[in-house]
Amino acid sequence: MAIRTVSRTVLYLLLIALSLFYLMPVYVMLITSLKPLDQISLSEMWQLPHSLDLSSYQLAFEKLAPNFMNSIYLVIPATLLSALLGSLNGYVLSKWKFRGSDWIFTALLFGMFIPYQSILIPLIQFLREAGLYNTIPGLIFVHVVYGIPITTLMFRNFYASIPEEMIESAKIDGAGIFKIYQHIIIPLSITGFVVVGIWQFTNIWNEFLFAVTITTSSQQPIMVALQNLSGSQIVQWNVQMAGALLAALPTLLVYIFLGKFFVKGLLAGSVKG
């Protein structure tokens, strides 16, 4: 029993030490954001601020507010549309399989792993031709298209757990593809929608490469605006850190309140274990 107590203690100590390690960056981000600029230097970064200074938050908020709204306008439709498409695809590819449907699925999945650099140059050319360059609808479009693989995968895995007999018996009752989707699949996929929604929300919110190359100035989402806080020649670290916290807030909140679903999404998105 003594060994057990000792090893339990060691276990807790280890866990606490590792937790501190994982929290350390947040500590630095917090204290830096609360300092005035002249107290910020590399050699003082660990010290608590001499006095509380919220002005960097005010400044960061002033600058980021419009882009924050851009991100909202971007993330919500993009998340919903890609979840809807994913649900349809997942439904067909799990419950209405046809010859070659598995290969189509595999071909779709590949799109999830490509480095987006490999389509960036044609994509920008295309968006310009279509008049969607530098618009939020353009960015929504991009995220919906490149979100198809992951949302399809998640829904397909999710629907795989719906027993085949339910579908079969509905078919025997004369229900068609629409009816089954409407009356069986949709009511059963609320959790699926929440999981996929949270996943897409987080990803699109945090995305940088598309955002920085497709939108400019007033159309930019928050992550690019965060970079912009650094200005062209002078970096205000306190404002940058305050901005980083503000920009991370929605995804952090989602994580704090709906973390369970976030983790579910994580597991669902990992192809097949």
**Does residue 133 contact residue 214 with C-beta atoms inside 8 Å?**
yes
C-alpha dihedral (149, 152, 154, 158), degrees to nearest 10: -160
CA 226 to chain CA centroid, nearest Å: 17
Q: Which two tokens stand for residue 199?
A: 């996943």
In the complex, the smallest distance separating the C-beta of residue 52 from another protein, rounded to whole angstroms, is: 20
Residue located via tokens 């609360």: 34
170 half-sphere exposure, CB direction, 13 A CA radius:
18
Across 93-116, b (16+ Cβ under 10 Å) vs e yields bbbeeeeeeeeebeebbeebeeee
